[in-house]
Structure 1
């Protein structure tokens, strides 16, 4: 029972709430990526891909927590370049950022020019396979998981608290994945906005790995403001459609 002895300490609940909030916020990046990626699959495979990807992401995060002592040492500098000591964490963040920038740029190109003959279509309109989608979900989750675990270690030393926070955050991701994916699919302009978010997050990861830390509060504030503006645009477009429909009925 010593494993759960921390639950008897009231002070641990503040750390638990904070960690859950942090995991949920960091999960937004993953969720947007998963939604865009799964929507590239045939409709009958999308929900399955999201659930398998998020489920495997949970297993990956719990496995990483079991090696937390090793992950913490990933911050030890390996070499110095341009006055910055690069650690394994930095290299992983840079690699993940480059992957995210490449993926977002590729998806933006496809959105702008969907008839590009270089884009190979699979499954009657899908542009990826379920296996490829799941692998990409896990690759990106590995990057975010390592970063979040290193941050979590600075907040608490209780593995049990980290495990609970990860499970709660992933459960919320499972609940939100389908509605978010359907919303993005139903609103094409949101897709471009979400891809812009992924591009910005990728550049932030690269900057962080290079030693230029950008407070995440700025990133999520910009995302929230952009989302608000897009929401107002959607309401304006809806009103114009309703007005046009009323005029058409009146003229009939």
Structure 2
């Protein structure tokens, strides 16, 4: 075991896999930030902690079921000469859920004046529903993340270490991101658009049509940068007007 961690190849694999897990975790953080914006700040912090703790638990649990996970990539049904594995079915279902949820939230933001759809929900039922949705998406993103990890690394210890580091970074970054989304409502609409984009990519993956994630993350980074400039410009205009 000690020899494993003294090998340069081990550290190279760990750094590479950790970076990949962090990138894949961006989707999780965006979804989490949007969901917790619907509940009070005190509950939002708890929901964020529960969501990221579950993300870590799911990833480690799935890593311990390597043989089962490998079996998920085998076709179980065939429709119109197209084979679908359990992984494909889960990705399609998760992607459709993301698209439907993001579309519903966008409608709620646009029609915020109707029946208070834009207001923050404060009851226990709303908190529980947020947790349920976080669990569903955690499972989808965890599955995609761990199957990627299996393809990149061969040692379970390296995979677990990379996942733990990535989840810690997700936890540290989720708070500021969630606060920024709440403080600047226009960024929430942008985040919802990102979720639609991510949902489409998941559905495409389920149908064996892979959209390179680099394109998606570049689009997200570019749009986020433009929105950041927009927020800074608005802040400067407000200061100049005082």
Q: Same fold (TM over 0.5)?
A: yes
With normalisation by structure 1, the TM-score equals: 0.90
Contact map agreement 2:111 2:117 (CA 8 A) in 1 = no
Aligned partner (choices 197, 217, 220) of residue 220 of structure 1: 217
With normalisation by structure 2, the TM-score equals: 0.93
Q: Distance in 2 between matches of 1:7 and 1:114?
A: 54
Asked if 1:81 corresponds to 2:69, the answer is no
Residue in 2 aligned with 1:108?
A: 106
Contact map agreement 2:54 2:138 (CA 8 A) in 1 = no
Pairing of 1:19-34 with structure 2 (within 5 A) = 19-34=17-32
Shift of 1:235: 2.2
Shift of 1:83: 3.8
Distance 1:112 1:127, change over 3 A: farther
After superposition, what is the alpha-carbon deviation per residue over 1:155-204, rounded to whole angstroms, capped at 9, x for unaligned? 11101011001100111111111111111111111000000000100011
Shift of 1:127: 9.9
Asked if 1:45 corresponds to 2:43, the answer is yes
Aligned partner (choices 93, 96, 103) of residue 95 of structure 1: 93
Secondary structure of 1:75 counterpart: coil
Contact map agreement 1:68 1:149 (CA 8 A) in 2 = no
Determine which structure has more spread, i.e. the larger CA radius of gyration. Answer: 1
Pairing of 1:38-187 with structure 2 (within 5 A) = 38-117=36-115, 119=117, 123-124=121-122, 129-187=126-184
Distance 1:81 1:5, change over 3 A: farther
RMSD: 2.0
Shift of 1:236: 2.1
Q: Distance in 1 between matches of 2:118 and 2:78?
A: 42
Contact map agreement 2:109 2:117 (CA 8 A) in 1 = no
Q: Distance in 1 between matches of 2:168 and 2:3?
A: 24
Residue in 1 aligned with 2:235?
A: 238
Contact map agreement 1:84 1:211 (CA 8 A) in 2 = no
Runs (4 or more) in structure 1 with deviation over 6 Å come to none
Q: Distance in 1 between matches of 2:119 and 2:233?
A: 34
Shift of 1:128: 6.0
Gaps of 5+ in 2: none
Contact map agreement 1:122 1:129 (CA 8 A) in 2 = no
Aligned residues: 242
